[in-house]
């Protein structure tokens, strides 16, 4: 018996995987002669978590099982070989799941005399072969009559249907034999050649074989005793029909290791998240989506574990092998054994599989998951691997331990960081609002920092020529007039003209995605609210989107030139998730955005930048403190509290700004206290506040056209004195509804957690 100790390593912490219970299950199975030995691997989409080997090749006890033991996979071939090849062929548009089988194998219909059978067989599709719903029976002993692969396929194509295609589920080796031949004809090469070229070589599965060479026999545990020769089947496929088919069939014939199957399983899990170069997300969704087949649920090629909500896929093999994918937890389990040694009469494997899977699941449940931002960063590294990167970012780009992601990327051997692009406030956030930033060299990395808040607002063609990817990571605050999102979008559009890939490391919206409020701007105001050519309006004040979603909307609906855009999404994020529940750190993204409280009120109180009142800049509570030297706090607070605005109260306050409007002067005013973020309406609140100041101090308060540009409302600076707030709000409702309908196809995050 050989066991491999294992530590679970993530990017931020080291956790021990306690394998005690799993080991007990396997020890007990070996002692009870369920099988002489086994190998297994459990892992995540990003790494193996535990790999081990137990027992011996056979009951002589002479040869211990090692981690590189190669087992006969039996029917696991159906998913590890045949289905994986079909996924690649569908992605390459070589074949479709709804193709009739007769398109590729005309003799499947042409050589049948019975008219009813011919009519039924014309309706059999590739998908029905792979979901065991073709109407073909389960098995026939072809090996007694055939001597080659060609003869086997010819015989399989003559087997009559026993049910109407698509009506019921009958597990069918015959169907997968025929499916393997469909793949060969569609791909223009034999199934083993397609497996090697399309799947095994790209994933470096060098220990996966059909008909393994003789020098590998010491690594291959034997299977059953052959009744004719009295010798154990060793190094040749156990399945008699696959053996008669020269080891080339779609239903069985592969040999592999737990490590190699782990590579395939991890790639499929990554593919289910849109992170695979081999298997596109849309193809994976097509194959993995549960479909009702008779009285059971199946995916294409895979069984679906009952009561898993379609999220756990599995397949087993007659020789004692199994492969399971947990799409919900992003975990896989590989268990390989030779339970048919010395005889197939041993039926303990079903119980052992269930006990082992339950033990692994209990251990997974006890291990804390890596923080979402670390999982996202791992995906980012995979996306950027081998690329030259220019990074548009600032100081708020940190990980779960508040490390600057720019420094982590600069230190990573997977990525070549070439330069930085800096937005308003600079790379390190040391410039005040509106202050121009010139190009300079970053002291920490020695890399050039190109300012996008100076005479230049976008990267130049010369700068883009030096990089393969423009990576953007900026913490937005959920308000249209916060300039960072438009800096990203402008840079994306510049990159599209130079065919430079754009990657956005998305971050949660600090004020959430659940609510949209304010006017979709009808005033083209550049970095505080652009409008694209031919569009009637832009984005609302409180947009309820992430940077990645806004960039996707612009790229797909408004931009003239579409960029090669990839958004690395926030894991497990939904439209109902609060920022404080994401686990993402908050670092003030600009000098006057210190807290989440600030961000919450900002979509409404930023309107005071277009007045002669102080919006609290130069205090510790910018945008929460509003006032001026001529204001009597108790009058304003009472007036606003009487308005009965939802989710907010106003406290009379005195404050002295240290800079900006009324610097060094004692100001009277109010502090905005949000009591219920779910019902608080910042835009309505800001307008009610401004109107109250105008009514209470009509001669002293000045409102400029900049307030109109900020809120995207034409002539607001005059209308606020003559119209009701409700009238102003009613005026933009049609635009807001149209915008919400427009943005819907481009949203990246669901309303609620997915099952």
How far apart (Å, rounded) are the C-alpha atoms in residues 543 and 545? 6
Residues 257 and 73 sit within 8 Å (Cβ to Cβ): no
Which is more confident, 716 or 368?
716
pLDDT exceeds 70 at position 13 = no
650-671 as b/e, with b when 16 or more CB fall inside 10 Å? bebbebebeebbbeeeebbbbb
Task: Say what percent of the chain tops pLDDT 70.
Answer: 96
Burial of 745 (0-12, 13-18, 19+ CB in 10 A): exposed
| Domains of the chain by start residue, with CATH | 7-366 (3.40.710.10), 382-581 (3.40.50.12170), 596-722 (3.90.1150.140)
Q: Binning pLDDT at 50, 70 and 90, where does residue 10 land? A: very low
How far apart (Å, rounded) are the C-alpha atoms in residues 265 and 258? 10
What pLDDT is attached to residue 424?
A: 78
Residues 20 and 33 sit within 8 Å (Cβ to Cβ): no
> What residues have CB less than 8 Å from 6, skipping those under 6 apart?
17, 19, 49, 50, 51, 52
What pLDDT is attached to residue 8?
A: 31
Predicted confidence (pLDDT) per residue in 536-588, tens digit: 999 999 999 999 999 999 999 999 999 999 999 999 999 999 999 999 999 99
Q: Binning pLDDT at 50, 70 and 90, where does residue 752 land? A: confident
Residues 29 and 2 sit within 8 Å (Cβ to Cβ): no
pLDDT exceeds 50 at position 279 = yes
How far apart (Å, rounded) are the C-alpha atoms in residues 193 and 5? 36
How far apart (Å, rounded) are the C-alpha atoms in residues 336 and 410? 41
**173-187 and 149-156 helices cross at what angle (nearest 10)?**
120
What pLDDT is attached to residue 754?
A: 62
How far apart (Å, rounded) are the C-alpha atoms in residues 683 and 686? 5
Hey, what's the torsion of the CAs at 474, 479, 482, 484, to 10 degrees? 20
What pLDDT is attached to residue 434?
A: 57
What pLDDT is attached to residue 11?
A: 29
pLDDT mean over 376-396:
93
Task: Note the pTM of the prediction, 2 decimals.
Answer: 0.63
Residue 109, Cβ neighbours under 10 Å: how many?
Answer: 19
Strands (E), 219-328: 254-256, 291-293, 296-298, 303-304, 312-317, 321-326
pLDDT mean over 659-672:
97
pLDDT mean over 705-733:
97
pLDDT exceeds 60 at position 135 = yes
> What residues have CB less than 8 Å from 726, skipping those under 6 apart?
none
Predicted confidence (pLDDT) per residue in 216-231, tens digit: 999 999 999 988 888 9
Predicted confidence (pLDDT) per residue in 485-509, tens digit: 999 999 999 999 999 999 999 999 9
pLDDT mean over 282-290:
95
Tracing tokens 């900006």 back to the chain, one arrives at 660
Residues 548 and 485 sit within 8 Å (Cβ to Cβ): no
How far apart (Å, rounded) are the C-alpha atoms in residues 346 and 344? 5
Task: Say what percent of the chain tops pLDDT 90.
Answer: 85
pLDDT exceeds 60 at position 14 = no
Measured at the CA of 726, the angle between CA 723 and CA 731, to 5 degrees, comes to 80
Residues 225 and 342 sit within 8 Å (Cβ to Cβ): yes
What pLDDT is attached to residue 443?
A: 87
How far apart (Å, rounded) are the C-alpha atoms in residues 56 and 39? 10
What pLDDT is attached to residue 275?
A: 79
Among candidates 335, 314, 272, which has minimal Cα distance to 41?
335
Predicted confidence (pLDDT) per residue in 590-616, tens digit: 889 999 999 999 999 999 999 999 999
> What residues have CB less than 8 Å from 430, skipping those under 6 apart?
none
Q: Binning pLDDT at 50, 70 and 90, where does residue 12 land? A: very low
pLDDT exceeds 90 at position 339 = yes
pLDDT mean over 335-352:
95
Predicted confidence (pLDDT) per residue in 64-91, tens digit: 999 999 999 999 999 999 999 999 999 9
Burial of 719 (0-12, 13-18, 19+ CB in 10 A): middle
pLDDT exceeds 80 at position 365 = no
Predicted confidence (pLDDT) per residue in 41-53, tens digit: 999 887 888 899 9
pLDDT mean over 367-391:
88
pLDDT exceeds 60 at position 16 = no
pLDDT mean over 391-420:
92
Counted residue by residue, the chain has a size of: 755
Mark out the alpha helices in 423-467 (DSSP H runs): 461-465
The helix (H) or strand (E) run that includes residue 23 is helix 20-31
Q: Binning pLDDT at 50, 70 and 90, where does residue 3 land? A: very low
The rounded mean pLDDT for the chain is 93
């Amino acid at each position: 018996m050989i066991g491999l100790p294992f530590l679970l390593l993530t990017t931020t912490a080291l956790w021990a995987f306690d394998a005690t219970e799993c080991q007990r299950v396997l020890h007990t199975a070996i002692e009870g002669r369920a099988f002489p030995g086994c190998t297994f691997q459990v892992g995540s989409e990003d790494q193996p978590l535990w790999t081990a080997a137990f027992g011996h090749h056979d009951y002589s006890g002479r040869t211990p099982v090692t981690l590189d033991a190669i087992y006969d996979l039996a029917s696991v071939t159906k998913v590890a070989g045949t289905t994986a090849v079909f996924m690649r062929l569908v992605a390459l548009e070589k074949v479709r799941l709804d193709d009739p089988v007769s398109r590729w194998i005309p003799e499947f219909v042409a050589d049948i005399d019975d008219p009813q059978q011919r009519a039924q067989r014309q309706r059999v599709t590739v998908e029905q072969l792979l979901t065991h719903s073709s109407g073909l029976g389960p098995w026939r002993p072809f090996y007694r009559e055939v001597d080659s692969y060609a003869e086997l396929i010819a015989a399989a194509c003559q087997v009559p249907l026993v049910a109407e295609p698509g009506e019921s589920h009958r597990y069918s080796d015959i169907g997968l034999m025929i499916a393997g031949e469909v793949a060969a004809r569609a791909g223009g090469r034999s199934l083993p050649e397609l497996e090697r070229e399309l799947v095994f070589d790209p994933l470096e599965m060098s220990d996966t074989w059909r008909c393994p060479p003789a020098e590998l026999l010491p690594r291959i545990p034997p299977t059953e005793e052959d009744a004719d020769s009295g010798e154990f089947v060793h190094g040749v496929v156990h399945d008699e029909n696959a053996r008669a088919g020269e080891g080339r069939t779609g239903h069985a014939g592969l040999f592999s290791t737990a490590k190699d199957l782990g590579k395939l399983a991890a790639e499929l899990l990554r593919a289910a998240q849109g992170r695979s170069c081999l298997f596109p997300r849309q193809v994976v969704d097509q194959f993995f989506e549960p479909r009702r087949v008779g009285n059971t649920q199946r995916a294409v090629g895979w069984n679906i574990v009952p009561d898993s909500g379609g999220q756990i896929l599995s397949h087993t093999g007659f020789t004692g092998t199994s492969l399971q994918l947990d799409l919900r937890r992003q975990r896989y389990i590989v268990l390989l054994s030779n339970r048919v040694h010395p005889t197939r009469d041993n039926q303990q494997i079903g119980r052992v599989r269930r006990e082992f899977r339950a033990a692994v699941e209990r251990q997974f449940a006890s291990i804390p998951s890596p923080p979402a931002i670390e999982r996202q960063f791992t995906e980012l590294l995979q996306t950027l691997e081998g690329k030259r990167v220019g990074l548009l970012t600032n100081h708020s780009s940190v990980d779960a331990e508040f490390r600057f992601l720019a420094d982590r990327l600069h230190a990573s051997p997977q990525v070549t960081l070439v330069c930085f692009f800096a937005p308003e406030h600079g790379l390190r956030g040391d410039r005040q609002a509106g202050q121009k930033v010139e190009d300079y060299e970053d002291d920490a990395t020695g890399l050039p920092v190109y300012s996008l808040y100076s005479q230049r607002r976008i990267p130049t063609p010369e700068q883009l020529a030096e990089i393969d990817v423009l990576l953007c990571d900026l913490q937005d605050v959920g308000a249209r007039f916060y300039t960072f999102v438009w800096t990203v979008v402008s840079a994306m559009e510049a990159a599209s003209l130079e065919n430079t890939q754009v990657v956005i490391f998305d971050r949660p919206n600090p004020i959430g995605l659940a609510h949209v409020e304010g006017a979709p701007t009808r005033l083209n105001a550049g970095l505080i609210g652009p409008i694209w050519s031919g569009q009637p309006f832009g984005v609302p004040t409180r947009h309820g989107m992430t940077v990645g979603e806004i960039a996707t909307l612009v790229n797909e609906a408004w931009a003239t030139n579409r960029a090669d855009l990839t958004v690395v999404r926030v894991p497990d994020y939904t439209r109902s998730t609060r920022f404080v529940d994401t686990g993402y750190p908050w670092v003030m993204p600009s000098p006057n955005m210190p807290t989440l409280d600030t961000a919450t009120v900002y979509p409404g109180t930023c309107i005071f930048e277009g007045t002669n009142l102080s919006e609290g800049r130069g205090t510790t509570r910018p945008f929460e403190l509003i006032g001026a030297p001529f204001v009597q706090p108790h009058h304003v607070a009472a007036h606003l509290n009487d308005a009965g605005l939802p989710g907010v109260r106003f406290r009379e306050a005195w404050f002295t700004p240290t800079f900006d409007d009324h610097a060094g002067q004692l100001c009277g005013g109010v502090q905005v206290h949000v009591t219920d973020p779910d019902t608080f309406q910042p835009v309505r609140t800001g307008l009610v506040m401004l109107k109250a100041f105008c009514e209470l101090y009509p001669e002293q308060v000045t409102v400029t056209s900049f307030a109109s540009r900020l809120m995207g409302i034409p002539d607001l600076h005059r209308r606020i004195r003559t119209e009701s707030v409700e009238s102003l709000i009613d005026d933009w409702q049609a635009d807001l509804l149209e915008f919400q309908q427009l943005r819907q196809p481009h949203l990246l995050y669901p309303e609620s957690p997915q099952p």
